[in-house]
Structure 1
């Protein structure tokens, strides 16, 4: 099966099934996304071979199962496997130290769960692809110098 080049493959990772579903529906209404959802960091990492373009990762993944990997541990693991995948962290808490900690571990950005979260996520994803496109063009140009 050929990958549809125009679709952005998105991993959504959250142990809040209701939030996960509503986020998935939001993204699927915008046809340029191919969405895979996971309720744990472990499952996300197990499926990294599916080569997501972007991962949206909940900070509190151990809310239901205390022994589950939390978002930060999952982020570290993802980056160890493939440092190039942009990871956007999601949290229900607007805490600066949490945001700083995520950025310190190479998260691309940090979004607080709210009514505007989906719009923010979309804007960040646009930014990621804008940067990647610029980077490609720059590399293409540099190769020819």
Structure 2
């Protein structure tokens, strides 16, 4: 039976070892429902499940050179459901790449490093605080 209180996270990365490591870290440090995908295409096919957050690798071409990259996947996710927060995860520590991701409506950009998991946790926490504030504001505005 699925626990409705769990945060549903889609992890999308073509690096199987990194993907498994990240999945284990999330399962060990919180009450998460995790689904993993090696390509953006596989993630897109399951968006009807409505994940709470998508953590998406920037490149995604390690397995299939013709696969959608992270930005293409991000654009498709936002076209299907603009409300799903997407965090881009990349080995590139370049400001222009981060800015490009934000222009494509990523919620955050996290560099793959030894602190990546902590940064992801903080970003997810921020997403839920922001969503709670939006609900409170909406409730307040409805009563005016």
Q: Place the TM-score, normalised by the shorter chain, in its bin.
A: over 0.9
Any runs of at least 4 consecutive aligned residues in structure 1 with deviations exceeding 6 A, and if so which?
Answer: none
CA deviation profile, 1:59-109 (whole Å, cap 9, x unmatched)? 010122110110010000000000000000000110111111100000000
Q: Could you tell me which residue of structure 2 aligns to residue 113 of structure 1?
A: 112
SS in 2 for 1:94: coil
Aligned to 2:88: 89
The Cα of 1:23 is off from its aligned counterpart by 0.1
SS at match of 1:101: helix
2:23 maps to 1:38: no
Question: How far apart are the structure 2 equivalents of 1:143 and 1:93?
Answer: 43
Partner of 1:101: 100
Task: Extract unaligned runs of 5+ from structure 1.
Answer: none
1: CA distance, partners of 2:83 / 2:89: 19
Structure 1 residue 20: deviation in Å? 0.1
Q: What is the TM-score of this pair, normalised by structure 2?
A: 0.97
Q: CA deviation at 1:32?
A: 1.7
Distance in 1 between residues matched to 2:127 and 2:3, nearest whole Å = 19
Q: Return the alpha-carbon distance in structure 2 between the equivalents of residues 52 and 96 of structure 1.
A: 28
Cα distance in structure 2, aligned partners of 1:31 and 1:103 = 27
Describe the SS at the equivalent of 2:109. strand
Residue aligning to 1:7: 6
Distance in 1 between residues matched to 2:30 and 2:117, nearest whole Å: 15
CA shift digits 1:32-74 (9 cap, x unpaired)? 2110000000000000011100000000101221101100100
Question: Which TM-score applies when normalising by structure 1?
Answer: 0.96
1:75 alignment partner in structure 2: 74
Counting matched residue pairs gives 144
The answer on 1:62 being equivalent to 2:61 is yes
